[in-house]
Chains A and B, each alone.
Chain A
């Protein structure tokens, strides 16, 4: 089965063709990062305008690189939630028009299910690599990105088989990176630059308190950590020398990475699951990756770290997440709804405590 995936939920216009179990035949991404950088974050109206401009060329390119025509495809999968409503609409409408024109079945995919599927993608035909060891179900999946930060127990790669067991109460991890980068004058997006500076800093030189330190909790909170950095800057001023800036980045990153990993591995222990998968843009963070590998070795956990192109937003993961519903014969043509919310049930509510009962 060959599926065309389309992704426009945030600031990446992407299209990809994926065969059956996850072999990526093409993977095209038009990033809007430069467009939004001057604004210090994603501007929804600008994102929607850019998606409309690039949707058609990106889809065309994905088919050309795969060397396929529409007649050789078996279906179309498009991100329909969660994301920016206006941005999602551009992708779903484009996909809808394509489905009407070609007669191909169309399924709407939850972006987060896409991220959890990404570990199965095999990029060996498009200049990347195949997964060294594909995850085994059930697994514990951590999605950490600019818009989401949650831990899931995944029994099957579908919304019904995926359960959130802890999420962030406030900012997503990537959001915290962006806000701290803004505070420190490092521009947008914050993740890569802080990661780079942190690698040369000493995390112990500046003391920041652990966010959500309760051992039992699988919930995250990053807004307090960001406030601590803001307070540090209020007290000491913007770091005046490179070394201090690097130390501050290192201290911040160490806390984020520690929080993400300790809770993820604790979740695996609690759920008695031996496989852990990381996903989302923050999973491209080098310190997160190396510390995850070390922890997995120490604890005998089977860890899958998808390649960087599978972590950040892409359409290959959307195509793959569409395979199962398409195989079942699902078809959302004429009835595809977009939503800003994920279809995955949540246990953590933003701005609140644990939902009980």
Chain B
């Protein structure tokens, strides 16, 4: 099975091609606010490197976050377009689950994957040693996040991702940020859904005003 994956939850934007348990090609960029401009180029570069045609793809994988709301939508909308245009299944993958998978050591300890959520918080998710999510992703203030996640895990987890430093934890060897390579490997295994929805974790900042209504209103 040939998988094309896209990951744009953080400032690291990446594209990867995956086949039969192996990474075939990948490309990434870290230009701020430029996923929209860069994805096309990364995609073309990966396909050229692999020598694949777009018609040879079997499924599309995409990172669902949590992360930057706009960044996520840029990657997901692009992936939706590709899947729709090629009539391929689209598989959404948790970006933190993908990040946890990048751990290069494999002791039997839960992992806590982390990315910076800004506003003094991290997005975090506990993932089992086998790679299964143990809970839904959450947002936690830097202060106290380490203790809270340790309590939730029942033991000190392995901290994956550069955001470990924000909560005073020691980072285990693995990727700094979620990457399409792990998104692709998960997308190859997970079932496809009819629609994908980002893992926003946080609600939209919107306050309902007290709008008095007129009785003449329908």
Contact = CB atoms under 8 A, between A and B. Distances in A.
A46 B80 CA distance: 19
Given A45-B206, A92-B36, A186-B217, A101 B82 contact: yes
A interface, by DSSP: helix, strand, loop or mixed?
helix
Contact of B214 (A85, A94, A101, A184): A184
Contact of A98 (B39, B85, B212): B85
A93 B74 contact: yes
Interface in A271-322: none
B211 A40 contact: yes
A49 B214 contact: no
A45 B198 CA distance: 13
A95 B83 CA distance: 12
Interface of B: 36-37, 39-41, 43-44, 54, 69-70, 73-86, 195, 197-198, 200, 204-209, 211-214, 216-218
Given A40-B209, A94-B84, A97-B84, 18 more contacts: A38-B211, A45-B206, A49-B198, A86-B69, A89-B70, A89-B74, A90-B73, A97-B79, A98-B84, A98-B85, A100-B82, A101-B81, A101-B83, A185-B214, A186-B213, A193-B217, A193-B218, A238-B214
Contacts, number: 132
B90 to A, nearest CB: 9
B195 A60 contact: no
Interface in A64-103: 70, 85-86, 89-102
Contacts of A99: 81, 85
Contacts of A97: 77-85
Nearest to B85: A101
Contact of B73 (A46, A93, A95): A93
Given A39-B208, A185-B213, A48 B84 contact: no
Contact residues of B: prevailing secondary structure? helix
A95 B70 contact: no
Contact of B36 (A40, A93, A100, A245): A93
Nearest first, the 5 closest Cβ-Cβ pairs linking A and B are A97-B81, A101-B85, A93-B77, A45-B204, A334-B40
B62 to A, nearest CB: 10
A53 B197 CA distance: 7
Given A39-B208, A97-B79, A52 B216 contact: no
Contacts of B211: 38, 40, 182, 185, 187-188
Interface of A: 38-40, 43, 45-46, 48-49, 52-53, 55-56, 59-60, 70, 85-86, 89-102, 182, 184-188, 193, 197, 238, 242, 245, 333-338
Contacts of B209: 39-40
B80 A94 contact: yes
A48 B73 contact: yes
Give the one of B36, B200, B205 with max A CB within 10 A: B36
22 contacts: A39-B208, A45-B204, A49-B69, A49-B200, A52-B76, A70-B85, A86-B73, A90-B73, A96-B36, A96-B39, A99-B81, A100-B40, A100-B43, A100-B82, A100-B85, A101-B81, A101-B82, A101-B83, A182-B211, A184-B214, A185-B212, A337-B37
Contact of A187 (B36, B40, B208, B213): B213
Contacts of A245: 214, 216
B126 to A, nearest CB: 26
Given A40-B211, A46-B206, A56 B217 contact: no
Contacts of B82: 97-98, 100-101
B209 to A, nearest CB: 5
